[in-house]
Amino acid sequence: MDLRITIIASTAALMLTGCAATSTSIAKRNLDVQTKMSDTIFIDPVRRSSRLIYIEVRNTSDKQDLEIENAVRSKIADHGYRVTTDPGEARFMLQANVLQAGKSSKTAADEAYEGGFGSVLAGGAAGAAAGWGLGQAGGNDGLLIAGGALLGAGISSVADAFVQDVTYSIITDIQVSERAAADEYVSQDEQLEVPRGESGRINQYSSGTSEWKRYRSRVVSTANQVNLDWPDAAPQLVEGLSRSIAGIF
């Protein structure tokens, strides 16, 4: 009787684990790349002769090999804009900073998107915790059921090692500036809240006039597939990010 219980428990673990791994591998077999912008940016239409833009893309993530700026420049140029290295002569300015690039989770990416420009990123992807309950079984039955549970856990670990649901993301804050017309007056007020360890925060305020109308947003690009590797995900993420930014112009 005890042996039968062990066999049943082990067989059930095998079946459930196999089904879960197979379901994941089928559902996530195709690469799914998505790019979302937290806030819509509209700029005024201008004559083709005035489509002069200064572009600056910084990367403060740990993936320094990403070729984002060239991709953005190329796509904006395809929209009829000329790129200049002199911000003083530009009609538009695009400034971007890559905050995060690499492995993530859908939850972390969604939180970054919902937080919008300037919001703090989550510390990392949340892991999943699993527990095994032994119930009220006693004597050898309890030991055998526990053994079956441990066997099932081992099988699950092996299956998970071969079938992983992987998500990578690139999170970028962008600022688009449009030079105001000669007869336009632009008032600018900014408030910055800077964390200061555990002792509190520093609030900074500034106000004044500017010759630029500024718009800010956050772009979140994600790639999801079973057993996805970064070298396969990165080009698709850069493509989605650059296409989204260029779409503003």
pLDDT one-digit tens code per residue, 114-128: 999 999 887 553 333
pLDDT one-digit tens code per residue, 86-98: 999 999 999 999 9
pLDDT one-digit tens code per residue, 197-213: 566 666 666 666 678 99
**Distance separating alpha carbons of residues 173 and 215, to the nearest angstrom:** 11
pLDDT one-digit tens code per residue, 163-192: 788 999 999 999 999 998 877 777 666 666
155: Cβ–Cβ under 8 A, 6 or more apart, which residues? 13, 14, 17
pLDDT one-digit tens code per residue, 50-72: 999 999 999 999 999 999 999 99
| Assessment of whether the complete model's pTM goes beyond 0.85 | no
**pLDDT score at 211:** 87
**pLDDT score at 207:** 66
Mean residue pLDDT of the chain comes to 79
In the chain, what are the domain boundaries? 32-122+166-246
Scan for tokens 């904006």, then name that residue.
Answer: 76
H-only helix segments in the chain: 2-27, 68-78, 106-115, 139-162, 230-246
**Distance separating alpha carbons of residues 184 and 178, to the nearest angstrom:** 12
232, two tokens: 């396969």
Which residue, 244, 249, 81, is CA-closest to 172? 244
Average pLDDT over residues 140-150: 49
